[in-house]
Amino acid sequence: MSDQERERRDGLAAAIAIAAVAVLLLAFSQRYLLVELNIRRLAVPFAAALVTVVAASGIGAALIQWLERLTIRNDRGVRHEIPVELALLVGFPVYGSLAFLIANMTTHRAAMLVPCVAGIAALVSQAGRLTLTSLREGARCSRWVGAAFVICALTAMLLAQLPVISLDDAAYHLAIPKQWALEGHAVSFPLMSHSWFPLGAESSDIPLFALLGSSAPLASHMAHALLALATGLLLLGGMRRVAPSLGPALAVAVATTPALLLGAGWSGNDVLLTGVSFALLVALLDESTQARSGTIAAAIAAGLLLKYSFIPLAFTLCAVALVVDPPRRASTARAALFGATLGSVFFLRNLILTWNPIAPFLSGEGGEISGFRRGESLSETALSYLFDGRWVDDTLGVALLALLLMFPAIASSIRDRRIRVCGWALFAVVVLLIAMAPAGRILIPFLTTFAWIVACGLEKATEGRTRVRATVGALLALASFLQLGVAAAYLSSLDPLAIARGAMSDASYVALQRKDAAAVEWCNAQLPSSARALILGMQEIHGFDVRARGGGSFDGPRLARYLDAASPDELGDRLRADGITHVVLFESNIVIGTIQTSTREAQRQLRIDRRTAANLRQFLSSEAVQIANREGVSVYEARAGR
């Protein structure tokens, strides 16, 4: 062991010792009550999260090895090393899809154990192939890089130990698997557009809800925090291999992007998709990748099981690879074909149910993707991506946008034609997307993969120019520091330690962060356990402990079309046919007529015309009875059929 490696090891040991002493002093000062409180609250969810990621890692490793044998016919008997973080990232959506397929029959606890058992068995069979390559790469980085990644990991865990306060979690990421568990099997939710999207990540929470009940959200958060850690390690290892000098600093600059870092502890799929997209790019362009074809196929399958926005990214990368890399064209094409076939689960479901494989798009009910962040001018739109106090967790920050602007100046320094052409293709796609002004999170996978290409160019452009390289490294460190400052300000506003230190309960914390949380708890007390409630004026149905039907963010138009009927009798027949027993109205979020509102308000509102409002009012007065009312929230019970 060299003196430098020994010094780093001693520094890491000292940091761990200091942290341990701090925890012990805190526990002693509180007579160990806080330790007991947090163990009771977090131990079971964390154990469930560990089981989930272990099972997903096993499935991912077995999948890569199997696909490698399918695509490379002379590969029998070859044992490839597979980074454990890569196995976890590609295996997680496949694990979720397996849970989804089983949930179509039942969400019984015994059935939901099948994906876990299968994953652990796969891990045992593949244990000899899994490596910690990226972790070893990270251990060789400078101290400030290690410290920055530790801060990112702590941020993710602080967010993960919070209850459900994220709009996306409450509206669909956790709402859908919870409702499936309550129904006893996976069902369609026509009123929620997100329920038609690929649900590989969300479906991984079905076993958690079936087995843990109310503790499932915490377990889901912790599993996604571990996925974020795996993504960070993959970024660090991949960047350092192609750019030993500037790669680690670039990896930190990407990892501290607010939209990426502040979503690391929630149950969304943006961080996971970023890791999968990065894995696909590296497998296509990095010559040192082992099990290349299997990784390409597994990454394509995983991305298609996660999100529609992966399609243009995968198509761009694979198309460029097929054109500029003739020697490996056949193996790349086979890998892409196998991956697309394996990742078609949710596309086939949509085709069977709606005759539209990418529902709800192309049907007039998909909502608007473009214009989400568009300002009054081009400069205002660009500045909103840089930083916007209204959308802190959707902010791109400094680093990724700077790398995008830097690429044309350094593109000629990239000697590998494949990487250079891929860089220009991605540059064009990203510029086109930015012109559409979508949510920042949609851009993150594109910009992160693009950052790897910029790393190749920067390393070559600064070769032999020590001062220039040092200046670039200092600027990347400054950008990372600024982005961590944004994350710190956001965390300060959330006060995530309020629960950990025992100052607030989970329920009181949620009530403080989500204005309708108290009303939802009140509704739970009014609704019988056998109810199937239609929720109007509230787009976050996760909080309901009974079977519920409603929309997610921006699903007001879908709900309005559902309520549109020729008469109150027709509306009543429709509700009874769908098994609706109760109707819950959040009247403050129901708008009658056309009123101009902000994008943020439109997320939550249900806008209906006067005829629909009259029909709904007549149905509730003649065919339902009000059983409870409180401060603008009314609960109605529908009478039996006529």
Q: What is the pLDDT of residue 77?
A: 56
Interval 375-386: pLDDT, tens: 766 677 777 888
The H-assigned helical ranges of 172-328 are: 175-183, 200-203, 206-212, 216-242, 247-255, 258-261, 270-285, 292-304, 310-324
Answer yes or no: is pLDDT of 430 > 80. yes
The H-assigned helical ranges of 30-83 are: 33-71
Interval 185-209: pLDDT, tens: 998 888 888 888 999 999 999 999 9
Q: Taking all residues of the chain, what is their mean pLDDT, rounded to a whole number? A: 86
Q: How many residues does the chain have?
A: 642
Interval 61-95: pLDDT, tens: 999 999 988 877 655 556 678 899 999 999 999 99
Gap between the Cα atoms of 446 and 259, Å rounded: 13
Interval 582-596: pLDDT, tens: 999 998 888 887 655
Interval 384-403: pLDDT, tens: 888 777 778 888 889 999 99
Gap between the Cα atoms of 144 and 248, Å rounded: 10
- 330 or 374: which carries more pLDDT confidence? 330
Tell me the C-alpha to C-alpha distance, in Å, between residue 449 and each of 235, 324, 339, 546: 9, 18, 19, 42
Interval 315-372: pLDDT, tens: 999 999 999 988 888 889 999 999 999 999 999 999 998 888 888 876 666 556 666 7
At 205, list the tokens. Answer: 């929470």
Interval 37-59: pLDDT, tens: 778 888 999 999 999 999 999 99
Least confident of 205-214, 432-441, 448-457: 432-441
Q: What is the pLDDT of residue 32?
A: 45
For residue 82, give the H/E element and its range. Answer: strand 82-83
Residues whose CB falls within 8 Å of the CB of residue 353, separated by 6 or more in sequence, listed in order: 188, 359
Gap between the Cα atoms of 239 and 462, Å rounded: 16
Answer yes or no: is pLDDT of 224 > 60. yes
Q: What is the pLDDT of residue 54?
A: 95
Structure-derived torsion over alpha carbons of residues 257, 260, 262, 266, reported in degrees to the nearest 10: -170
Query: Sorting pLDDT into bands at 50, 70 and 90, what band is 539?
Result: confident
Query: Sorting pLDDT into bands at 50, 70 and 90, what band is 147?
Result: confident
623 contacts 639 by C-beta, under 8 angstroms: yes
Span 252-258, average pLDDT: 94
Span 174-179, average pLDDT: 95
Interval 260-287: pLDDT, tens: 999 998 998 999 999 999 999 999 998 7
Q: Rounded to the nearest 5 degrees, what angle is found at the Cα of 467, between the Cα atoms of 464 and 473?
A: 100
Query: Sorting pLDDT into bands at 50, 70 and 90, what band is 5?
Result: low
Q: What is the pLDDT of residue 302?
A: 97
Nearest to 101 by CA among 200, 193, 235, 245: 200
Q: What is the pLDDT of residue 23?
A: 54
Which of 29-33, 318-322, 362-366, 550-554 has the highest mean predicted lDDT (pLDDT)?
Answer: 318-322
Torsion-angle region of 552 (φ positive above 0: left; ψ -120 to 50: alpha; else: beta): beta
Answer yes or no: is pLDDT of 635 > 50. yes
Nearest to 86 by CA among 302, 328, 350: 302
Answer yes or no: is pLDDT of 434 > 90. no
Answer yes or no: is pLDDT of 12 > 70. no
Tell me the C-alpha to C-alpha distance, in Å, between residue 256 and each of 261, 394, 459, 619: 6, 13, 21, 52
Q: What is the pLDDT of residue 10?
A: 55
Interval 463-515: pLDDT, tens: 888 898 999 999 999 999 999 999 988 888 888 888 877 788 888 999 888 88
